[in-house]
């Protein structure tokens, strides 16, 4: 018989805040030490990992916990990235960068939104879009949902390419203010994991798990399927929007096709490889895959074998599916 | 506004593109019908077919017909391999694991090509006879006619195969019930392998068509046509092979019309329009145009 | 002995459906398995057909151990099943259904056998090109028989052939079963309709909650008061 | 006793075949009735109609005097109808405790903000849930399996868990669909006494579908017999067992139609 560790009951006030406080303290002490000890290149990688942790963890809310396989997550990241960028972009720079149609939203020539409200707005807009798209699309089952959400991603990227007066089309936006750093990225990592943890420890999270396990049963126990599917999809989209905004303000340049299929593939396989039924599985997958990418990149360039990283990712994915379907942190749970 | 000749030209172009989609959708529908799998790896066969033909004809200077035959065979073989390695063990497990695995196989093949051949696109030269331009009421090249005729021939052969041959009937039987098929004595594994081989062989051939038609091939050329082929299956009606073909032609026409008749800026949206159409169809008629109602 | 089951136990996942069951079938006989809903009759039959495999125990066919042999390999050995609820390929035509029944023979052999089947079931011939799903219940049952017999079985497994059919048609079906028996095919019959089964069977096994309770020749059992009880409980 | 569930003229057809035809039932609060009949008689279909999983072609179902036809299954469940399934639909890869927790869903009214910060409302309701779940684990002797994956439990315990989680939902009406499917006689007897126990403890109103006649005779005060979707007989157990129509449906006595 398989034992699953779920009995820890954090459902008291101190049961929530003590573990979170300890975890948060530990995280930032470690980051502080890293910041002192490690060089900038490695800190850069750690920051990128943080951004992907937010993306992968939030995607896992639908793909892992609710059993809705979405391939549209980067669409929401794109929305978050563009929204926050357009808000933080200096009005005076807009004309210079050929973005004339942009509303000057609040303030004069040198005004620009502060980072936090811009970032939050990006997340909220992504969530609103998820609400609108989710209502029709989430009625579809497994495979259809995968293709429809992939279609959503493609629609979003082509729109970003097509609406030139807002987005500068395929050439993308450069000289984005550099706001994201190790600290605010990891604050958002902590927030994402905390909120997801709370969702999973309360009624909505249990409803999502129920939907994954058996829609028939969930329904007959009073769980409104659409409501909780939307709940998962929209919360996931919000954090995707945040991840997108952090990403844009970290790399300082974005182009529509950055957010298309290959990024989707990375983010989708992170939870699967790390373990999609564990709160920290996606984070582990993200760390592993991104670290691997930075490790192998020099080799790839030196040898001139482009595609090596993706090739290894794909082989890893197929191997995990065949031999360890629960992922690295997953317990073998193929009981029938 | 538009002359008759322009309109016919667009329709013709739409049919050529639609032929390619229809052939892809054919194989996709076959595999989906049997395994319930959206085979993302189907798109990779297009790339494999295109590069295989390119090397055989231009690097090894094989005769055209032989190059085509070898391309098709290689496609079939890759289909066989992917089923044997990737999917067989996962059958009967959670439905999504097949889908995720097919994503993995797609990315694997795509990057294997990128790594082994080139990350840069190749110019695809046609054998000269295919490039001859014919100017009449509408303008076209011999390759266009080649695509249309090949498509028709394949469809007829495929139709006869599925309708008449023992294995074809077994494929339809398995699509209805794997369990019953096993009961009456059908070797289910063998038939499933065959359907992958047939679908992949056809997809490899479309790779050649794509290259010959558009003059450029690259490691990631197969993704979009592969996904669009599945959209064609859904729009036409899951479980219906004629539906898949119809869906393929419909999407081909719509994409060409998007570019041909809408204002210039709209051509960017041609893929987006396909998916918008998909979502609309799924909402209004979830079973597709010719689809049967799936039982509970 | 054509068929011998030795102490099998079969589970659906972890649901035990049949326990410690042993039975024997002699060549040329009709052996009936009867019992209430969920007693394990159909499960036993599925194990004989190879859809399910017992976790414990063995099945011998012509003295050969076939316990773990998969279903499609049993058909060429001469074991065919007429499944519960007929399970035709409802989107295929009548002829195509028969073609799949004769999957192990080539086109020429198929044509010959098709003639034989049509002579046994003339009604099927009339419907040759009709889609199986559009046949009436009785016709579907006949086609289901035809699809099984066309593989030239020595052992025919019938799973609730009267289920969901009108009384008059049930009589037809049982006449057909008798005809099939005359051709020398051994039959294992699973039936809820005990009276019908009693009329036709040479030997009966009564199952209850996955275990064998009573067995014997129908004439003897008919007098047994326990049978009636076994039915209502 | 007030009538809890009132069904009138309920009919459902699948592709032209009547699965349930003109079915009626008046179920007073606190009563247990049994629904029996051969395979395919329409018992499970009736349950699916009551719980909103299927839409009837005609008829009316009133629960607590409210017409529930057209309501979604989750709305019907929230109004106080719980059911088990013949083929178990447990949340297989979740723990036993989680299976029970999920069933309490309809009673949790806190907002997400309460859950997020662990506010009193959240803690109070979750505690209530945990207490009830503990009670059920005790009652159904599942305590030591609390942290075990539901799908790895032995079959008899899975059946028990299915009933236990229905009770966590604190339903006004409980529908049991073949609760002893796949059990041997000893297990059936145990289950029977357990259900009797619970019934008297919580004075539950129940409809039980079952084909094991002794089991149902011991539990139900009133029995309905379905055959081919039609109600062929109803009444107290001793009347049913001697009804020739019932014996015919079960034993399949030859019809004298010719």
% of chain B with per-residue pLDDT over 90: 50
Q: Is the pLDDT of residue D258 over 50?
A: no
Alpha carbon of D240: minimum distance to chain A alpha carbons (Å): 31
Alpha carbon of C207: minimum distance to chain B alpha carbons (Å): 24
Nearest CA in chain D to A201: D115
Cross-chain Cβ contact C163/D40 below 8 Å: yes
Q: Using a CB-CB distance cutoff of 8 angstroms, which residues of chain C are in contact with residue B182?
A: 50-51, 70-72
What's the token pair of residue B227? 């996904």
What's the token pair of residue A173? 């936006």
What's the token pair of residue A182? 């190790």
Give me the pLDDT at residue A103, please.
67
CA A258-A259-A261 angle, to 5 degrees, is 100
What's the token pair of residue A105? 């939203």
Give me the pLDDT at residue A109, please.
59
Q: What is the pLDDT of residues B220-250, one digit of tens each?
A: 899 999 999 989 998 888 778 888 999 999 9
According to CATH, the topology of domain B4-284 is: ABC transporter involved in vitamin B12 uptake, BtuC (1.10.3470)
CB atoms within 10 A of CB A322: 16
Per-residue pLDDT band for B292 (boundaries 50, 70, 90) equals low
Question: What's the pTM value of the predicted model, to 2 decimals?
Answer: 0.87
Cα–Cα distance, C14 to D157 (Å, whole number): 11
Give me the pLDDT at residue B267, please.
79
- Which among C85, C96, C143 is the top mutation candidate for probing chain B, defined by the most B β-carbons within 10 Å of its own β-carbon? C96
> Do residues C103 and C76 lie in contact, with contact meaning Cβ atoms separated by under 8 Å?
no
Q: Is C151 on the interface with B (CB under 8 A)?
A: yes
What average pLDDT does the segment D188-196 reach? 87
Q: In the 8-state DSSP scheme, what is residue C86?
A: -
Query: Pick from D249, D107, D243, D252: which is nearest to D171 by CA?
Result: D107
> Do residues D90 and D158 lie in contact, with contact meaning Cβ atoms separated by under 8 Å?
yes
* Residue ranges per structural domain of chain B: 4-284
Give me the pLDDT at residue A240, please.
97
Cross-chain Cβ contact C196/D254 below 8 Å: yes
Give me the pLDDT at residue D257, please.
33
> Do residues B134 and B141 lie in contact, with contact meaning Cβ atoms separated by under 8 Å?
yes
Q: Using a CB-CB distance cutoff of 8 angstroms, which residues of chain B are in contact with residue C101?
A: 184-185
Q: A262 vs A62, A268, B117, C168, D100, CA distance in Å?
A: 19, 10, 19, 64, 41
Q: What is the pLDDT of residues B191-205, one digit of tens each?
A: 999 999 999 999 999
> Do residues B124 and B211 lie in contact, with contact meaning Cβ atoms separated by under 8 Å?
yes
Q: Which position has the token pair 């050929």?
A: A98
More confident residue, C193 or B218: B218
For C159, the enclosing helix (H) or strand (E) is: strand C155-159
Cα–Cα distance, C20 to D216 (Å, whole number): 27
CA D208-D214-D217 angle, to 5 degrees, is 55
Q: Using a CB-CB distance cutoff of 8 angstroms, which residues of chain A are in contact with residue B272?
A: 154-155, 158-159, 162
Alpha carbon of D227: minimum distance to chain A alpha carbons (Å): 26
- Which among A140, A151, A165 is the top mutation candidate for probing chain B, defined by the most B β-carbons within 10 Å of its own β-carbon? A151
Q: What is the pLDDT of residues A183-196, one digit of tens each?
A: 999 999 999 999 99
Report the residue count for chain B.
Answer: 296
> Do residues D152 and D145 lie in contact, with contact meaning Cβ atoms separated by under 8 Å?
no
Torsion-angle region of A148 (φ positive above 0: left; ψ -120 to 50: alpha; else: beta): alpha
- Which among D73, D107, D152 is the top mutation candidate for probing chain A, defined by the most A β-carbons within 10 Å of its own β-carbon? D73
More confident residue, B253 or A87: B253
Query: Pick from C107, C97, C101: which is nearest to C139 by CA?
Result: C97
Q: Is the pLDDT of residue A301 over 90?
A: no
> Do residues A116 and B250 lie in contact, with contact meaning Cβ atoms separated by under 8 Å?
no
Q: Using a CB-CB distance cutoff of 8 angstroms, which residues of chain C are in contact with residue D38?
A: 37, 192
Cross-chain Cβ contact B170/C89 below 8 Å: no
Give me the residues paired with residue D36 across strands: D225
Alpha carbon of D256: minimum distance to chain A alpha carbons (Å): 43
Distance of CA A236 to the CA centre of its chain: 7
Mean pLDDT of chain A: 86
Q: Is A69 on the interface with B (CB under 8 A)?
A: yes
What's the token pair of residue C206? 């009564």
Residues (pLDDT < 50) of chain C are: 232-233
Cross-chain Cβ contact C209/D183 below 8 Å: yes
Contact residues, C window 107-136, toward D, CB-based 8 Å cutoff: none
Phi, psi dihedrals of residue C183, rounded to the nearest 5°: -75, 5
What's the token pair of residue B285? 């008629």
What average pLDDT does the segment D114-126 reach? 88
Q: Is C148 on the interface with B (CB under 8 A)?
A: yes
> Do residues A86 and A224 lie in contact, with contact meaning Cβ atoms separated by under 8 Å?
no
Q: What is the pLDDT of residues A308-325, one digit of tens each?
A: 888 888 898 888 888 888
Q: Is B180 on the interface with C (CB under 8 A)?
A: yes
Cross-chain Cβ contact A13/D51 below 8 Å: no
Cross-chain Cβ contact D105/A195 below 8 Å: no
- On the 0-12 / 13-18 / 19+ scale of CB atoms within 10 A, D66 is exposed
Q: Is A8 on the interface with D (CB under 8 A)?
A: no
Q: Who's near D116: CB < 8 A, 6+ residues apart?
A: A195, A198
What's the token pair of residue A274? 């790390």
What's the token pair of residue D99? 């299976």
CB atoms within 10 A of CB B173: 26
> Do residues D8 and D24 lie in contact, with contact meaning Cβ atoms separated by under 8 Å?
yes
CA atoms within 13 A on the CB side of B295: 6
Q: Using a CB-CB distance cutoff of 8 angstroms, which residues of chain D are in contact with residue A12?
A: 118, 123
Give me the pLDDT at residue B295, please.
36
Q: Using a CB-CB distance cutoff of 8 angstroms, which residues of chain A are in contact with residue D83?
A: 220
Cα–Cα distance, C179 to A31 (Å, whole number): 84
What's the token pair of residue C142? 């006949």
Helical packing angle, C107-120 and C94-101, nearest 10°: 120
Cα–Cα distance, C104 to C97 (Å, whole number): 13
> Which range, A5-19, A218-232, D195-209, D232-246, is most confident?
A218-232
Q: Are strands C79-82 and C64-65 parallel, antiparallel or unpaired?
A: unpaired
Give me the pLDDT at residue A205, please.
94
Give me the pLDDT at residue A333, please.
46
Nearest to A7 among D89, D93, D146 (CB): D146
Cross-chain Cβ contact B184/C51 below 8 Å: no
List the strands of the sheet with C15-25, edge to edge. C15-25, C3-12, C56-61, C64-65
Q: Is the pLDDT of residue D47 over 90?
A: yes
> Do residues B170 and B186 lie in contact, with contact meaning Cβ atoms separated by under 8 Å?
yes
What average pLDDT does the segment D38-47 reach? 82
Nearest to D253 among C19, C195, C233 (CB): C195
Q: Is the pLDDT of residue A201 over 50?
A: yes
- Which among A217, A228, A231, A331 is the top mutation candidate for probing chain D, defined by the most D β-carbons within 10 Å of its own β-carbon? A217
Cross-chain Cβ contact D148/A2 below 8 Å: yes
Give me the pLDDT at residue A107, please.
53
First-to-last CA distance in chain B? 50
Cα–Cα distance, A204 to A13 (Å, whole number): 19
Cα–Cα distance, B13 to A332 (Å, whole number): 52
What average pLDDT does the segment A276-291 reach? 91
Q: A233 vs A67, A150, A194, D145, CA distance in Å?
A: 11, 14, 17, 33
A41-47 long-range contacts, CB within 8 A, separation 24+: A43/A182, A45/A290, A45/A291, A45/A294, A46/A182, A47/A180, A47/A181, A47/A182, A47/A185, A47/A250
Cα–Cα distance, C12 to C109 (Å, whole number): 38
Alpha carbon of A233: minimum distance to chain B alpha carbons (Å): 17
Cα–Cα distance, D226 to D23 (Å, whole number): 9
Q: Who's near A14: CB < 8 A, 6+ residues apart?
A: none
Q: What is the pLDDT of residues D75-104, one digit of tens each?
A: 999 999 999 988 888 998 899 999 999 999
Cross-chain Cβ contact D105/A217 below 8 Å: no
What average pLDDT does the segment D155-167 reach? 89
Lowest mean pLDDT among A107-121, B46-60, B96-110, C138-152: A107-121
* Residue ranges per structural domain of chain A: 13-260
Q: Is the pLDDT of residue D118 over 90?
A: no
Give me the pLDDT at residue C208, please.
79
More confident residue, B252 or A333: B252
> Do residues D148 and A5 lie in contact, with contact meaning Cβ atoms separated by under 8 Å?
no
Q: Is the pLDDT of residue A10 over 70?
A: no
Q: What is the pLDDT of residues D198-236, one digit of tens each?
A: 888 888 899 999 877 778 888 888 999 888 888 888 899
Q: Who's near B68: CB < 8 A, 6+ residues apart?
A: B53, B205, B208
């Amino acid at each position: 018989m398989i034992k699953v560790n779920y009995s820890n009951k954090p459902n008291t006030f101190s049961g929530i805040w003590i573990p979170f406080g300890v975890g948060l303290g530990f995280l930032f002490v470690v980051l502080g030490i890293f910041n002192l000890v490690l060089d900038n290149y490695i800190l850069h990688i750690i920051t990128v990992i943080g951004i992907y942790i937010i993306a992968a963890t939030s995607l896992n809310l639908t793909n892992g916990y609710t059993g809705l396989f979405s391939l549209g997550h980067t669409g929401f990241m794109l929305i978050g990235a563009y929204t926050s960028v357009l808000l933080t972009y200096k009005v005076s720079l807009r004309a210079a960068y050929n973005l004339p149609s942009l509303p000057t939203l609040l303030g004069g020539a040198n005004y620009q939104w502060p980072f936090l409200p811009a970032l939050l707005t990006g997340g909220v807009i992504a969530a609103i879009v998820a609400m609108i798209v989710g209502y029709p699309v989430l009625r579809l089952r497994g495979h259809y949902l995968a293709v429809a959400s992939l279609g959503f991603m493609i629609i979003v990227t082509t729109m970003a390419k097509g609406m030139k007066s807002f987005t500068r089309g395929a050439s993308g936006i450069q000289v984005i203010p550099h706001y994201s750093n190790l600290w605010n990225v990891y604050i958002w990592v902590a927030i994402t994991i905390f909120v997801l943890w709370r969702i999973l420890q309360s009624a909505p999270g249990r409803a999502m798990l129920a939907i994954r396990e058996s829609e028939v049963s969930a329904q007959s126990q009073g769980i409104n399927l659409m409501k909780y599917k939307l709940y998962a999809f929209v919360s996931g989209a919000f954090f995707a929007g945040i991840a997108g905004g952090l990403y844009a303000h970290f790399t300082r340049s974005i182009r529509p096709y950055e957010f298309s299929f290959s990024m989707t593939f990375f983010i989708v396989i992170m939870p699967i490889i790390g373990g999609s039924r564990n709160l920290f599985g996606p984070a582990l997958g993200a760390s592993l895959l991104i670290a691997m990418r930075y490790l192998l990149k020099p080799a790839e360039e030196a040898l001139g074998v482009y595609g090596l990283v993706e090739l290894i990712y794909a082989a890893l994915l197929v191997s995990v599916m065949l031999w360890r379907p629960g992922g690295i942190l997953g317990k073998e749970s193929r009981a029938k | 506004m538009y002359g008759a000749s322009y309109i016919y030209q667009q329709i013709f172009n739409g049919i050529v593109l639609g032929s390619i989609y229809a052939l892809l959708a054919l194989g996709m529908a076959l595999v989906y019908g049997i395994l319930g799998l959206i085979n993302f790896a189907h798109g990779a066969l297009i790339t494999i077919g295109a590069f295989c033909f390119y090397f055989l004809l231009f690097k090894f200077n094989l005769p055209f017909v032989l190059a085509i035959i070898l391309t098709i065979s290689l496609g079939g073989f890759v289909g066989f391999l992917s089923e044997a390695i990737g999917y067989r063990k996962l059958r009967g497990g959670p439905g999504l694991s097949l889908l995720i695995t097919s994503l993995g196989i797609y990315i694997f093949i795509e990057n294997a090509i990128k790594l082994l051949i080139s990350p840069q696109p190749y110019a695809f030269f046609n054998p000269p006879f295919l490039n001859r331009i014919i100017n009449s009421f509408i303008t076209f090249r011999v390759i266009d006619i080649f695509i249309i005729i090949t498509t028709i021939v394949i469809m007829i052969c495929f139709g006869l195969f599925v309708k008449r041959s023992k294995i074809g009937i077994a494929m339809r039987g398995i699509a209805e019930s794997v369990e019953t098929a096993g009961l009456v004595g059908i070797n289910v594994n063998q038939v499933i392998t065959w359907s992958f081989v047939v679908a992949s062989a056809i997809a490899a051939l479309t790779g050649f068509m794509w290259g010959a038609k558009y003059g450029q091939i690259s490691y990631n050329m197969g993704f979009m046509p592969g996904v669009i082929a599945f959209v064609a299956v859904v729009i036409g009606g899951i479980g219906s092979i004629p539906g898949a073909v119809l869906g393929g032609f419909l999407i081909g026409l719509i994409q060409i019309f998007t570019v041909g008749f809408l204002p210039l800026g709209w051509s960017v949206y041609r893929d987006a329009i396909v998916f918008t159409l998909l979502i609309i169809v799924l909402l209004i008629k979830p079973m597709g145009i010719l689809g049967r109602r799936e039982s509970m | 002995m054509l068929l011998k089951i030795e102490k099998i136990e079969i589970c659906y996942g972890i649901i035990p459906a049949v326990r410690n069951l042993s039975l024997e079938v002699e060549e040329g006989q009709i052996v009936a398995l009867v019992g209430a809903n969920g007693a394990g009759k159909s499960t036993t039959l599925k194990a004989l057909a190879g859809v399910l495999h017992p976790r414990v125990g063995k099945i011998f066919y012509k003295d050969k151990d076939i316990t773990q042999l998969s279903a499609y390999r049993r058909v060429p050995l001469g074991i065919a099943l007429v499944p519960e609820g007929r399970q035709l390929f409802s989107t295929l035509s009548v002829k195509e259904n028969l073609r799949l029944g004769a999957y192990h023979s080539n086109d020429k052999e198929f044509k010959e056998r098709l003639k034989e089947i049509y002579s046994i079931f003339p009604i099927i011939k009339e419907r040759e090109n009709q889609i199986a799903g559009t046949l009436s219940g009785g016709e579907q049952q006949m086609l289901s028989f035809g699809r099984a017999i066309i593989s030239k079985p020595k052992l025919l497994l019938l799973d609730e052939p009267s289920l969901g059919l009108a009384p008059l048609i049930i009589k037809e079906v049982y006449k057909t079963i008798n005809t099939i028996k005359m051709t020398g095919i051994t039959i294992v019959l699973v039936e809820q309709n005990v009276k019908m089964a009693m009329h036709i069977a040479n030997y009966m096994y009564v199952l209850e909650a996955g275990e064998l309770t009573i067995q014997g020749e129908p004439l003897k059992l008919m007098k047994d008061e326990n049978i009636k009880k076994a039915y209502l409980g | 006793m007030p009538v809890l569930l009132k069904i009138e003229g309920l009919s459902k057809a699948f592709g032209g075949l009547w699965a349930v035809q003109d079915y009626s039932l008046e179920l007073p609060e606190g009563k247990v009735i049994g629904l029996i009949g051969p395979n395919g008689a329409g018992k499970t279909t009736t349950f699916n109609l009551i719980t909103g999983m299927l839409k009837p072609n005609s008829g009316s179902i009133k629960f607590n005097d409210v017409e529930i036809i057209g309501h979604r299954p989750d709305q019907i469940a929230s109004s106080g109808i719980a059911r088990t399934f013949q083929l178990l639909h447990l949340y297989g890869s979740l723990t036993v405790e989680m299976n029970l927790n999920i069933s309490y869903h309809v009673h949790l009214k806190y907002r997400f903000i309460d859950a997020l910060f662990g506010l009193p409302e959240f803690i109070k309701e979750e505690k209530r849930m945990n207490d009830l779940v503990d009670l059920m684990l005790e009652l159904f002797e599942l305590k030591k399996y609390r942290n075990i994956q539901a799908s790895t439990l032995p079959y008899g315990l899975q059946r028990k868990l299915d009933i236990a989680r229905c009770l966590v939902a604190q339903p006004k009406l409980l529908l049991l669909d073949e609760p002893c499917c796949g059990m041997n006689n000893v297990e059936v007897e145990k289950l029977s006494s357990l259900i009797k126990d619970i019934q008297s403890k919580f004075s539950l109103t129940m409809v039980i579908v079952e084909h094991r006649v002794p089991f149902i005779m011991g539990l139900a005060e009133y029995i309905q017999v379905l055959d081919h979707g039609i109600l062929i007989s109803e009444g107290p157990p001793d009347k049913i067992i001697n009804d020739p129509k019932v014996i015919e449906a079960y034993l399949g006595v030859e019809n004298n139609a010719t």
